[in-house]
Amino acid sequence: MAERDQEDQILVNRAQQGDRAAFNVLVRKHEAKAYQYAFRLTRSADEAADVVADAFVRVYNAIGNFKGQSAFSTWIYRIVTNCYLDARKKDKGRTTSLESTIITEDGEIERQIEDPSPNPHQEMELSERDERVQEAISMLPDYQRAMIVMYHSEEMSYEDISAALDLPIGTVKSRLNRARISLRDILVRHEELFRR
């Protein structure tokens, strides 16, 4: 077991005994990576923050059930993935009128729809190729997107993905391969979107 994983296990054991300070240390240690992963899935700072907040609430509520059969960080990836997939399911079932208003303490305001397209600052930061690949990844089904991000962006091993998603390694390999084929097919089909 890696030293970091041993430290996490000590903190988990303390958190399971009701030590809130130990839980807070766990959150601080893992929140940046969890947010980075959620952002890669959602491509939205607000959505990623919501997913991570939901994930750590779930972690807090379920910490007593963590048995240490996988690394704590792997367990967090599983929970963040589940929160992301749950949020996507909710979003698909929700429709919003563009003309709706929101009631606030200061009165009614018109709903403003956020433009998800990259701003000029993002265009400067990201190379065009990376941007195009990200667009292709966003076209993948949610589960395939999560696997691509885990393996290629987060550099998780097959074993870690297997533990995070509670799937056999063979299934992870075959689903990841299918996700790569789907990604390739999107890039080929929408070649005009992905030209340099």
d(CA 193, CA 66): 44
One domain, residues 74 and 84: yes
Is the predicted pLDDT of residue 34 greater than 60, yes or no?
yes
One domain, residues 51 and 10: yes
pLDDT at 2: 75
Domain that includes residue 146, residue range: 118-196
d(CA 24, CA 109): 37
Mean pLDDT of 51-66: 93
One domain, residues 2 and 96: yes
Q: Which residue has the higher pLDDT, 115 or 19?
A: 19
Phi, psi of 117 (to 5 degrees): -70, 150
Q: What letter does residue 165 receive in the DSSP assignment? A: H
Distance of CA 100 to the CA centre of its chain: 29
Name beta bridge partners: 101: 110
One domain, residues 94 and 142: no
Number of domains into which the chain is organized: 2
Q: Which residue has the higher pLDDT, 77 or 122?
A: 77
Hey, is 137 helix, strand or coil?
helix
Residue type, 121: H
One domain, residues 143 and 175: yes
Residue 10 confidence class, pLDDT cut points 50, 70, 90: very high
* Residues 75 and 51: beta-carbon distance below 8 Å: no
pLDDT at 130: 75
Is the predicted pLDDT of residue 59 greater than 80, yes or no?
yes
